Structure 1
């Protein structure tokens, strides 16, 4: 009974408290938040300098959310309420003290600010450009997915990581592979363990020789063979010819196809359209469809509007009509109707633009897009010829 009486007294006391209205405008609250050191003195160390930024909506939304909630937290600091709190009889009811509420508000503001700062670090990016390297380079590598597909990935290597191995940005694909492939944690990146390849390598200019060890298992099935051959092309794109040999130096023989012919490439030119690939873990990447080539850049763009199989999805919506003009190494792609990128989901818009850039790079042409708005979007300037992509699916180097 005494406990119920205390609860009744407490309820009456709370109802008798004066109602406090915050008459400040949203602009005043926002200005105060901008000047609040608790929100501005928060340092966020970026993993890597990004070329692109996510739209500021996420950051503004977090600030507005803080602005809406701050008045309720400020009420706890009101003298009238503090007097009522002091006069309030002690009871078993679990009511958080004003100091706890104020601390919770500060923690919320700090978390919201930190999350916004982290979001501003970068958006979904599926291609790598020279401006992204920041004094480092990339290691191209084809990683094996759980569905027996090789996906081309760009492992970002910092200048410090290169120097630790005695390498530079001019080091060859093979030098980078020999230095870092064994240390790469493929499983942490969402792939099956495959590297380093069970072989030794030699290079002679733009020719690469792969000497398979006798115990290799790349010919146990057609799927294993396909992943192995695709991974070689994706890992060593700078070579014009890749010779696959046995330990004695003779052309290797696989049970499925017999003697392997040299792989001829045009130094990074795959002539392949890029599609969206959905991993089982939910991660989305851009990849050629089993390295299938197109006869021309224009044909590649048409192919990108249709799924080639059940594993890959289109990167250009089928409803979009476009024309292609190729002159002096520049492909001018113009959409018949203006494409509003801001009206598309961010990841889909990034996938389409980056797939276009990767496909253009696969044909060794630069890309200029017409009828695309806004003209300045996600770090790209559509008023000019766009930078050439130098790699796909940027991922950090994670040690085993």
Structure 2
């Protein structure tokens, strides 16, 4: 590229040669144009930044509100948590106090129940054995004051056990009922299974009595003739249930004498069992009862009392305590039981002694005799005066009626 050198003279010459510029416009027009060109341009409205700012402000407000709300929630939550802790503590304290109170109430109730049970037990003992410290299980004349005797022949394992239920006289409106009326009113209410026996009573059909005679009218569909054992149990149960009856008759629905296989025609029988020895029978519930060994055919009270020293079967046990032996003889209608060795009653359990004396008295009584024990160290024991014959029981195995 060629280097052109300029000097002041050359520049000045060129400016002279440049054509002269003239402006023929009116002065007003030029002034207006100048004013128009020099007037500042109209400011544009930038709305986006404002919206953004507003949005930002709004967002900031929301965030601030949220933060404040969250802080408030934190405070509220803290307060609520504190309140919950206090409430839980109060509940825990209240629960502990309630538990203590409940335990105290339970202990108090337990004491009251124990006291009530003790009182009831004492009341029951008093009624079961009206005489002080009486552990005898049979029914004696003094036991019948205020009570009626309901005899029942209960059964289990094809065996009959006599049980004597004492029914309060107040339940009978002060009247002395016939044998059948007493049976019909209360026999169905006795809980035989609770006593350890089968549910046997009341008998099917109808029971009536008049002037000491009990009549059992059998229904046509009775089952007493299913076997010889069933028939024997039925007959023994009748005798034990109506032990005070002078006569017991069994008839059909047409009024004729009933026939039961394999017995055949049922002849009238007397109530109660005579000529038997009373052994110990243990029921299904563990309770011990005195029961006669039916049909043993003893010829005398001496023979029956002697037989008591050995168990006749697996169902019956001897009522005589172990290692105790005696001899039996009859003197002027009283049977004398003389122990081989002096008998110290203090060495025996009271229940054993009661069972021993009651089995002797019941056995002798089934022959119409009284019994006296000899060679006993004590002259008296409980309610027994051993210088006299043993008090004859009215019936065995006393049970108090509980309505």
Deviates more, 1:376-385 or 1:294-303: 376-385
Q: Are 1:139 and 2:147 counterparts?
A: no
Paired position in structure 1 for 2:193? 187
Partner of 1:396: 400
Cα offset, 1:374, TM superposition: 2.2
Q: Deviations over 1:300-334 (max 9, x none)?
A: 1012111111100112357412232242x433333
- Residue 227 (structure 2) pairs with residue 258 (structure 1): no
Q: Where does residue 85 of structure 2 map in the other structure?
A: none
Tell me which residue corresponds to 2:253.
247
What CA distance in whole angstroms lies between the structure 1 residues aligned with 2:224 and 2:155? 13
Over 3 Å counting, the alpha-carbon distance change for 1:297 and 1:345 in structure 2 is same
The equivalent position to 1:174 in structure 2, one of 174, 180, 185, is 180
**Residues 324 and 339 of structure 2 are in contact (CA less than 8 Å); yes or no, is this contact kept in structure 1?**
no
Name which one, 1 or 2, has greater alpha-carbon Rg.
2
Match of 1:368 among 372, 382, 394: 372
Distance 1:380 1:373, change over 3 A: same
Are residues 1:153 and 2:159 paired?
Answer: no
- Change in Cα spacing, 1:356 to 1:116, as seen in structure 2 (3 Å) is farther
The answer as to 2:217 corresponding to 1:197 is no
Displacement of 1:386 after TM fit? 2.7
Give distance in 2, aligned partners of 1:376 and 1:221.
49
Cα distance in 2 for residues equivalent to 1:172 and 1:332: 37
Give CA deviations for 1:46-76 in whole Å, capped at 9, x if unaligned: xxxxxxxxxxxxxxxxxxxxxxxxxxxxxxx
Paired with 2:298 and 2:316, the residues of 1 have a C-alpha distance of 16
2:329 aligned with 1:324, yes or no? yes
Alignment of 1:225-304 (within 5 A): 225-263=231-269, 265=270, 268=272, 270-304=274-308
RMSD over aligned CA atoms reads 3.2
**Pairwise mapping of residues 35-74 of structure 1 onto structure 2 (< 5 A)?**
none
1:354 aligns to what? 358
SS of 1:338 mapped into structure 2: strand
Q: Report the CA distance between 1:116 and its aligned residue.
A: 10
Whose RCO is larger (CA < 8 A, sep 6+)?
1
1:235: how far off?
0.7
Deviations 1:248-303 (A, max 9, x none): 2222222223222332x3x6461111000011221111001235342111011012
- Residue segments in structure 2 that go unaligned for 5+ positions in a row: 1-99
2:141 to 112, 130, 138: 130
User: Gaps spanning 5+ residues in structure 1: where?
Assistant: 1-96
**Pairing of 1:377-392 with structure 2 (within 5 A):** 377-392=381-396
1:187-241 CA-to-partner distances (Å, cap 9, x unmatched) read 2322211111113234343433221111211112223222211110001112233
Distance 2:380 2:119 in 1: 22
Residue 314 of structure 2 is aligned to residue 310 of structure 1:
yes
The offset of 1:152, in angstroms, is 0.1
| 1:277–1:311 CA contact under 8 A, matched in 2 | yes
Whether contact under 8 Å (1:127, 1:393) holds in the other structure is yes
CA contact (8 A) 2:207 2:216 kept: yes
Give the corresponding residue for 1:82: none
Per the TM alignment, residue 356 of structure 1 is displaced from its structure 2 partner at its CA by 0.9
Distance 1:389 1:155 in 2: 14
CA positional deviation for 1:391: 0.8
Change (3 A) 1:319 1:175: same
Q: Residue 190 and residue 114 in structure 1: after superposition, are their counterparts in 2 closer, same or farther (change >3 A)?
A: closer
Between 1:240-249 and 1:301-310, the stretch displaced more is 240-249
- Distance in structure 2 (CA, Å) of the matches to 1:367 and 1:260: 35
Q: What whole-Å deviation, never above 9, does each CA across 1:337-361 have from its counterpart, x for those lacking one?
A: 2222221233222211111111122
